[in-house]
Amino acid sequence: MPLNMIKLCVGAESVEDLEEWIAERLDEARALGRPVEQMHTTRMVPSRAPELVDGGSLYWVIKGSVQCRQRLLEVRPFTDADGISRCHLVLDPKVVRTEWQPRRAFQGWRYLVAADAPADLSDNASGWQALPPDLRSELASLGLL
């Protein structure tokens, strides 16, 4: 069973917002001739990295609910210019939408076992998943999703 991570997606208003941010960063890397890969930097290096990259994903909490995930491809520890240990989480740029799962705010990241992870949504979204992002967000803020 793969091991996952969960993290707040600070600054994103919706899954679509996250997808736009990823596309911009990948375009920027192409334009600058850098490797075209999506990375997220975190301060703490996961001690269970081999389990994470063996089929695990990073689940994103957006506006108080887990809403999507990205597959974890690699964990790259490094030391920054100030001598602080950090970590690049290399992610598959494809964002997979999941069932919404409410989560309280927390700092950093947490491990998430597969049994506790929300299920992926099908590509044929219907019901509340087919609603426009702003309406979904408003309904969620009212506790109706």
Which of 6-20, 30-44, 57-71, 127-141 is least confident? Answer: 127-141
CA–CA distances in Å: residue 1 to residues 53, 54, 113, 117:
12, 9, 8, 12
pLDDT level of residue 58 (50, 70, 90 thresholds): very high
Q: Indicate the helix (H) or strand (E) that contains 49.
A: helix 49-52
Supply angle C-alpha 112, 62, 135, rounded to 5: 135
79-121 residue pLDDT tens? 999 998 999 999 999 999 999 899 998 999 999 999 999 999 8
Distance from first CA to last CA of the chain, Å, rounded? 29
Structural domain harbouring 124: 3-141
Q: What is the reported pLDDT for 145?
A: 62
Domain total for the chain? 1
**Side-chain half-sphere exposure of 91, counting CA atoms within 13 A:** 27
62-83 residue pLDDT tens? 989 999 999 999 999 999 999 9
Per the CB < 8 A criterion, the answer to whether 5 and 111 are in contact is yes
